[in-house]
Amino acid sequence: MTTTAPPGGLRDFYEDPAVPVASGAPRSLRQARMLAAALSGSTAPGLVLDIGCGDGTAAATAAPLLTGHRVIGVDWSQDALTRARPRLSYAVRGELTDGGLPFRTAAADAVLFSEVIEHLVDPDAALDELRRVLRPGGHLMLSTPNLAAWYNRVLLFAGVQPVFSEVSLRAVHGRPGREVVGHLRLYTARALREFVAAAGFEVVRLEGAPFHGVPRPLRALDRLACARPPLASILLLHARRT
């Protein structure tokens, strides 16, 4: 069984209310704690941007841990912003390309970039724009699915398309799962570290997080894999702007 997406370009795809715009709560909470720890030594108020905020889950999870800081959700999907605004005090429309984000250079103390980079046609330009809006020494909290997750290694060995990878925007083909979510690029832990460093960031920390879509009998194993980020379902990366 597959879940189909409407024909059309990527914009039409992401404006479809049936397309998921949130990730699991465990990932959001782990990332929020990493961000709170990174900002613990800074003097509030600071500006935290959740770029590609989706329905606002990541920013709403982080906000209670960021007392005194201002958290703004940013997305170019009007459907996502409609769902985010009940959760966030501030949610604005913005794009990483076509003129850039609606913030001045070096305005932000931190950027949340949760489950976004795997959807981008041009991730290089996206990181350039994130670096522009971050102050020197500002924090980037990036999360993305792990191409080399423990179960994907088994699936590839068996000749099965890895989880998180997609060959079509209209239906799932050749892999477990039912939802089409629009992933264009996938990263291993090593590739993500190298890519972020090449974009002008210093990688501070890499952690793993579980994936909410793992079948229940395998969830304990998925949580154990988080201790080894290269095997984890989700990669959580903390970097600083150089």
**Local confidence band at 21 (pLDDT 50, 70, 90 cut-offs):** low
**Residue 10, pLDDT above cutoff 90:** no
**Residue 41, pLDDT above cutoff 70:** yes
User: pLDDT per residue over 147-168, tens digit each?
Assistant: 999 999 999 999 999 999 999 9
Mean pLDDT, the chain, integer: 91
pLDDT score for 19: 63
Q: Which residues have a Cβ under 8 Å from the Cβ of 201 and sit 6 or more positions away?
A: 127, 131, 140, 239, 240, 241, 242
Angle formed by the axes of helices 123-133 and 189-198, nearest 10°: 60
Give the span between the Cα atoms of 131 and 163, in whole angstroms.
30
Distances (CA, A) of 11 to 33, 75, 125, 211: 32, 12, 18, 26
**Residue 6, pLDDT above cutoff 60:** no
pLDDT score for 1: 30
pLDDT score for 228: 98
**Residue 227, pLDDT above cutoff 60:** yes
pLDDT score for 27: 85
CA angle centred on 159, ends 207 and 13, rounded to 5°: 65
User: pLDDT per residue over 77-125, tens digit each?
Assistant: 999 999 999 999 999 999 998 789 999 999 999 999 999 999 999 999 9
Question: What count of other Cβ atoms lies within 10 Å of the Cβ of residue 221?
Answer: 12
pLDDT score for 26: 80
What length is written for the chain?
A: 242
